[in-house]
Structure 1
Amino acid sequence: MARFDGYAVLITGAGQGIGEATARRFVSEGARVLLTDLDKARAKKAAAAVNESVGAPADADAPDASSPGSTGRGVAEALACDVADRTAVEAAVAHAVRRFGRLDVLVNNAYSCHPDAPLFEDESDDDWHQDLDITLNGAYRCARAAMPHLAAADGRGAIVNIGSVNGLYDFGNHAYSAAKAGLGSLTRTLAGHGGPRGVRVNLIAPGTIRTNAWDGREAVIERVSELYPLGRVGEPEDIASAVAFLASRDAAWITGVTLPVDGGVLVSSPVVRGTFGNE
């Protein structure tokens, strides 16, 4: 029996990168997964790629995908969802419950990140509000809609928020970093609320991950890799593995934590070590 047989999972921002890799991991372990993304075509493409990669049914109407409580081979489905829209979020959660008969795991992965203005006083209100609304408020909307179903999931209910090392340390991106720091606080307060209801809530703080956001900047990725004690940047699958752990019964006594998955970047500075390490 696979670790997530019978589980139903909803992932936001799942059209590529960490979200798609996380969906693939869950489906490979037996879960039925709803991939949501602002871009419907991207979500459908990612779901098809996930199903193909793990040998799941390509037809979303296959019995294993739609029978409530069914176990066996996992499958991915796709749905457009704008996490900035409460109605769309509630519709996505309702769709997952209708299709799968339950909801056990929510992965809040959707985010927005605008580059900083050269001077802080030139920061745009619109960029600031959008980064917070998608990254922090979006997770809040999803957790609010999902919580009653997660609480009814027979002790399997879990929320895994995708934060960032930016929420823990200065790596730039004022609005994005503030939103990720806020998401860490929301994780802790939701863990306190959800625990008595059988829902665990945790956060993963990734370091630099090789995703589509870095397309065309391979030389930068190589330079950044030198800052990591483990000698490389992360891959989406590194984060997917951590998400699967925190969502599973293997982490049954873990809630309210922030887990850095960062190649050691938060605990070691190669620049400082190179300057003072031989003294």
Structure 2
Amino acid sequence: MTDHTRFAGHGVLVTGAARGIGAAVARRLAEEGGQVLVTDRDLPEAERTAAALRDEGLAAEAAACDVADRASVEAAVERAVAAFGSLDVLVNCAAHCTPDTPRFEDGTDEAWALDLDITLTGVHRCCRAALPHLAACGRGAIVSIGSVNGLQDFGNHAYSAAKAGLGSLSRTLAGHAAARGVRVNLVAPGTVRTSAWQGRDDDLDALRPLYPLGRVGEPEDIAAAVAFLASRDAAWITGTTLVVDGGLTAVNTGFHTAVHHP
């Protein structure tokens, strides 16, 4: 059951929140009482997401934020503080994934740099801008969206390296920020049904048997994990990676299938 007061009075900024996991996170935290700034490079879509929340009586505003641009990030953080009076929660959802070339050596510097700049360095920019405000509020929390790609091989070299880097950044920043009263954690999702999979229902169905819990994830599954880590229910948790993957990385389903059905 959703706690409609868990984030009462909290100012929240979510990046990459126009759609998918980011939009689900924005909705969940708003439903639990948060005042949410929905940010995205796609401002019209961010505005539509925020408007839909307001139509339900929830507190949400929208702002443009390109995590690849320091000035854009700093402006979004200042907008959240000005609108809500404080910034208590930062959720980093923005990411970029360039499809791998068939041969590793044919990948370009530009594609590699783009994935790392948005997926990893973008989180660094957001945390750097937000941290003083999160520390000032006395209950600050940062939750970033990683991936099982950062834990095991699921392809996408640059994206996976960036997501693995987020795990390290979350741990080192947690160590630094703890003395300032800010917790820092990571959620690592498995396959989640978002617009990235639009028109690929057959592929999602093919993946389903690999998941011990029998399905791929939904954005709401990840939003629930984010809400927990951002809340005071996780007051003694920092520097951790919460894997939310239906058992994918814990159970070698392919091995079990091969053994029992040779």
Q: TM-score range by the shorter chain?
A: over 0.9
State whether structure 2 residue 248 is matched by structure 1 residue 231: no
Q: Distance in 2 between matches of 1:48 and 1:226?
A: 37
Amino acid at match of 2:240: V
Give the corresponding residue for 2:203: 220
Question: Which of the residues 109, 126, 133 maps onto 2:93?
Answer: 109
Q: CA RMSD in A?
A: 1.1
Amino acid at match of 2:191: T
Q: Distance in 1 between matches of 2:167 and 2:50?
A: 28
SS in 1 for 2:248: coil
Question: Which of the residues 127, 135, 139 maps onto 2:111?
Answer: 127
Q: How far apart are 1:255 and its partner, in Å?
A: 0.1
SS in 1 for 2:62: strand
Give the corresponding residue for 2:34: 31
Q: How far apart are 1:7 and its partner, in Å?
A: 0.3
Query: Structure 1 length as normaliser, TM-score?
Result: 0.91
Give the corresponding residue for 1:75: 59
Q: Distance in 2 between matches of 1:170 and 1:42?
A: 32
Q: Distance in 2 between matches of 1:5 and 1:160?
A: 18
Q: How many pairs align?
A: 259
Amino acid at match of 1:211: T
Give the corresponding residue for 2:149: 166
For residues 123-202 of structure 1, the aligned pairs below 5 Å read 123-154=107-138, 156-202=139-185
Amino acid at match of 1:268: V
Q: Distance in 1 between matches of 2:260 and 2:90?
A: 43
SS in 1 for 2:137: coil
Amino acid at match of 1:25: R
Runs of 4 or more above 6 Å deviation: none
Give the corresponding residue for 1:11: 14
Q: How far apart are 1:14 and its partner, in Å?
A: 0.2
For residues 48-63 of structure 1, the aligned pairs below 5 Å read 48-52=51-55, 55-56=56-57
For residues 220-259 of structure 1, the aligned pairs below 5 Å read 220-259=203-242
Q: Distance in 2 between matches of 1:159 and 1:9?
A: 10
SS in 2 for 1:260: strand
Q: How far apart are 1:117 and its partner, in Å?
A: 0.2
Q: Distance in 2 between matches of 1:233 and 1:50?
A: 26
- How big is each residue's C-alpha offset from its partner over 1:108-138, in whole Å with a ceiling of 9 and x where there is no partner? 1000001000000001111110000000000
SS in 2 for 1:159: strand
**What is the aligned-residue identity percentage?**
64
Amino acid at match of 2:182: V
- How big is each residue's C-alpha offset from its partner over 1:129-181, in whole Å with a ceiling of 9 and x where there is no partner? 00000000000000000000000112x10000100000000000000000000
Give the corresponding residue for 1:98: 82
Q: Distance in 1 between matches of 2:8 and 2:30?
A: 9
Q: Which runs of 5+ in 2 are unaligned?
A: none
SS in 1 for 2:163: helix
SS in 1 for 2:118: helix
Q: How far apart are 1:278 and its partner, in Å?
A: 7.0
Amino acid at match of 1:99: A
Aligned residues of 1:43 and 1:78 also touching (Cα < 8 A): yes
SS in 1 for 2:7: coil
